[in-house]
Structure 1
Amino acid sequence: MSDHATNPATEAFVAHRNLLFTVAYEMLGSAADAEDVLQETWLRWVRVDLGQVRDQRAYLVRITTRQSLNRLRTMRRRKETYIGPWLPEPLLTAPDVAEDVELAESVSMALMLVLETLSPTERAVFVLREAFDVSYDEIAAAVDKSPAAVRQIAHRARQHVDARRPREAVSPNETRAALESFQRALATGDLQGLLDVLAPEVVLVSDGGGVKQAALRPIIGADKVARFIAGGYGKAVGALATVPTVVNGNPALVVRLDGEIDGVLALRVEDARIIGLYYVRNPEKLSRVESEIPLTLR
């Protein structure tokens, strides 16, 4: 990789790097693992005879998909011993990600959690087809299945996701308004204010990874969620600061205690109220919330 200007393999890889990272991240939910996959993709790419490659983008996506599938199976074993709920690693994203509705939804915390319920192959097929509009033939080559099998897998995965994904798209402004109400209530320790902005069936999922304190199971219901939040931060109101940001293409909060990042809070809104709260406290997942990560579907 010494002569970037004249090395065609390097030029092609760099040109598609943001796309490849997005593919790997959507499949894995982990930026650290996605970076490892990109390194493995590069090592295989430099051994390829470019003269035999008809479509460099498709070939790179194929390598990345295969490496992601290998990593996904390893991660599954890791998650079996994970302490408490597992949430995707939050990424600070540029404003243009939020403006791209399709991209913002595909990397949203809510959808990423739905993708966790798919098998590795189903997830790969769904991500490549629905987010990146990869052809069935190209997906078949990436996952070592026939195009007919891939069509069946795509149909099954789409049904599974559609049954669990948010019912309708919510504008960033509506999400931001709910976030601001939540932020005000949190800053003042206003329990009633929290109850007013939470949907009755709200679910809070917190991820401490056994390193930071977090609920070991999802908390369901506005009253329980509000009391959990108030109990956790009520005594720390003076030392608590919440900063609005854009995580995974959607409005979110970075929570700081005594100036240090305590976690990232993403949310899902329906009918102007918060129906899902996703709080990542595991320090190993908080390294990419202070500098923007470029994502793209193309």
Structure 2
Amino acid sequence: MENTNDTTDVNFILLGLFNHTQIHLFLFAMVLMIFIVSLTSNSLIIIFIYMEPRLHTPMYFLLSQLSLMDMMLVSTIVPKMAANYLTDTRTISPTGCGSQIFFSVTLGGSECFLLAAMSYDRYVAICHPLRYPILMNQRLCLLMTAGSWLLGVLDGLMQAGATLSFPYCHSRKINHFFCEAPSLVRLACADTKIFEFFMYICCILMLLIPLALILVSYSLILTTVLHMQSVAARKKAFTTCSSHLAVVGIFFGTTTFLYMRPKSYHSMKHDKVVSGFYTILTPVLNPLIYTVRNKEVKGVLSRWMGEIMSVKNK
């Protein structure tokens, strides 16, 4: 008799985000285009920051890490979703499922703390500009980045390991377009209440601690800006922070809506749409926001484009 409790031999089935109607085929093509644009734009930001000496500062180093996380996140989700949709298989192995949970949780958690580190960088730059090289030195910058990755990895290992340790002896149909811990746990034929409680607490801490640090940083920034006498200095300070605030608003808005609502308010249809925004759209919005609002990045980009055009003309 087949052992239905064995989670290593039987694949899971992802019900997906799209079916094969005309409108969904168009939406799928849009997702692929967004995926390509996201990989390209984030790769260009990393290359610009690496190759341009003017951008070798803590702020741009943190920005390059954000782009790296966005590239990895969208690469974790979209290729498998696209392969399943095009081949109409919709299956994913337990190993693939665990990998998706690990990487999505790791990158989401790491990005939370990285955005908090970026808000501290903006606080030091605006509130203590003369002491910026001392307070935001290379060692601290590397420590904050490593800490962000480490906390994300620990959260990812815990959730992926615990989720796959449960027996799945009934339905293996995951009502999602990628393996997400809450969606998978609902299928377990075991008592998961304790794990779900700790997972909920963990999500709250991974969101609220960085968000609290960000709010404290921007409260201090706002106090400093309001005491500035120069209108030009105020405008420059607001411009410096606006890009980061936009990214924080988009990221924490979607993740808070997704993971911190009471269970009774959850709808799988809405959760899939919000997850799509968080995992597919956010990685392409971040580089666009930073390049549109950032004069230095736009300056480097326009100079590089000018050099390329001049070489082509010659």
What TM-score, normalized by structure 1, do the two folds share? 0.30
* Structure number, greater radius of gyration: 2
What TM-score, normalized by structure 2, do the two folds share? 0.29
Greater relative contact order (Cα 8 A, min sep 6): structure 1 or 2? 2
